[in-house]
């Protein structure tokens, strides 16, 4: 039997809707459309309302009717709107033109078409695996502008340190690099007293594990394609490439432990966990993912220019394929799990044997 307070609440909502409709024709419809659009833009789906508001079946039907009446598309969990997809396509097209003209057609196939297939195949799969998994709640950003500036400043300092070390201008101790990254992350999260779960220290859901597994599987399938495509026009393999470091079990173990603490943890903490949510405070989520992916690629520019000795235009061509940043950004947006990001970084980001 429905409680008296429940009847009063439903009567109150109905009464306010009726008053709004009589006082301003079309007002209620405008509010419905605006609210539905806001929910869809903020979370990627309107269905999350059912987790928080009573009478879910009625609200679910009402929301779907409102979406159709307001011209909204079917609720989707993807943050990649048409303009973001267009921007990604333009980046890959620019990379393809650069690699085609600077190296050759097969290099463009390897790094643009195959990497593009990696992104498309995994995002398509993850969208379906995670579609029934609600987007995790997040703590509101306490000081959005200040925290975003701190994260961007840390990235700029890190890029400068890496460039100086690669160039050999000044011998900066490696610990300075990690102090900047970990210090920035911890200052923001612990200094402003964020809950520990905001660092992604949570156990992933079953669907999150499946999405991770598919990402690794797709990556290894693409690696097999890399081996089939002719390599004659490819630049020589860099001495820093993973293939030259994996000569035995102990070397592989040491490599992955080093990657965990020197690359996976600091990079995921800085770019995905710290930067991306603060960008999303000012931009739609899809654009936040894309921009952090671009900055993630930009952080590897000194390596391309100095260590690999590539011309700037050619280095730019390799870095415009932002597949790793897009995949990591989407996985963080949907799961908020640091363990998934770290494993993804270790097993899906590298192109083994390349």
Looking at the predicted structure, is the pLDDT value of residue 288 above 70? yes
The DSSP code sequence of 247-281 is SSHHHHHHHHHHHIIIIIHHHIIIIIIIIHHHHTT
Report residue 247 as tokens: 């000569």
Looking at the predicted structure, is the pLDDT value of residue 31 above 50? no
The pTM of this model reads 0.77
How far from 156 is each of 21, 149, 163, CA to CA, in Å?
53, 10, 11
Query: Which residues, 6+ apart, have CB-to-CB distance to 248 below 8 Å?
Result: none
Contact 352, 223 (CB under 8 A): yes
Least confident of 169-178, 215-224, 240-249: 240-249
Q: What's the pLDDT tens digit per position in 5-30?
A: 444 444 343 444 443 434 344 444 44
What is the Cα–Cα distance from 224 to 222, expressed in whole angstroms? 5
Query: So what's the pLDDT on residue 212?
Result: 93
Looking at the predicted structure, is the pLDDT value of residue 247 above 70? no
How far from 40 is each of 9, 36, 149, CA to CA, in Å?
25, 6, 28
Report residue 197 as tokens: 């779960």
Per-residue burial over 76-87, b if 16 or more Cβ lie within 10 Å, else e, is ebbbbeeebeeb
**Highest mean pLDDT, choosing among 59-63, 106-110, 219-223, 284-288:** 284-288
Strand (E) positions, the chain? Answer: none
Query: So what's the pLDDT on residue 114?
Result: 87
More confident residue, 188 or 5: 188
Confidence of residue 251 (pLDDT cuts 50, 70, 90): confident
DSSP run (H or E) holding 194: none
Kindly tell me the number of DSSP H helices and DSSP E strands found in the chain: 17, 0
């Amino acid at each position: 039997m429905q409680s008296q307070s429940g009847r009063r609440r439903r009567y109150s909502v109905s009464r306010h809707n009726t008053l709004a409709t009589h006082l301003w024709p079309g007002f209620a419809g405008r509010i419905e459309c605006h609210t539905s659009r806001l929910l869809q833009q903020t979370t990627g789906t309107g269905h999350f309302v059912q987790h928080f508001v009573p009478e879910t079946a009625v609200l679910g039907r009402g929301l779907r009717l409102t979406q159709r009446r307001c011209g909204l598309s079917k609720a989707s969990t993807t943050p990649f709107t048409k303009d973001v997809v267009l921007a990604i396509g333009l980046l890959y097209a620019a990379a393809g033109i650069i690699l085609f003209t600077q190296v050759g057609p097969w290099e463009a196939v390897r790094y643009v078409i195959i990497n593009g297939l990696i992104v498309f195949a995994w995002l398509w799969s993850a969208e379906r695996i995670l579609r029934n998994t609600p987007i995790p709640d997040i703590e509101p950003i306490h000081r959005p502008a200040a925290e975003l500036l701190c994260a961007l400043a840390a990235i700029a300092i890190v890029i400068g340190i890496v460039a100086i070390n690669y160039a050999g201008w000044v011998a900066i101790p490696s610990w300075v690099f990690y102090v900047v990254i970990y210090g920035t992350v911890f200052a923001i999260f612990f200094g402003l007293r964020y809950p520990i779960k905001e660092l992604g220290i949570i156990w992933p859901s079953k669907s999150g594990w499946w999405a991770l597994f598919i990402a690794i599987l797709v990556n290894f399938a693409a690696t097999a394609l890399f081996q089939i495509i002719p390599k004659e026009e490819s630049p020589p393999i860099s001495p820093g490439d993973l293939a030259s470091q994996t000569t035995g079990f102990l070397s592989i173990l040491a490599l992955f432990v080093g990657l965990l603490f020197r690359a996976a943890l600091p990079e995921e903490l800085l770019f995905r966990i710290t930067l991306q949510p603060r960008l999303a405070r000012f931009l739609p989520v899809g654009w936040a993912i894309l921009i952090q992916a671009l900055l993630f690629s930009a952080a590897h520019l000194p390596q391309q220019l100095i260590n690999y000795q590539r011309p700037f235009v050619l280095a730019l061509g390799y870095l415009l394929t932002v597949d790793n940043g897009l995949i990591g950004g989407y996985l963080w947006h949907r799961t908020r799990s640091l363990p998934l990001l770290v494993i993804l970084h270790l097993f899906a980001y590298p192109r083994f044997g390349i």
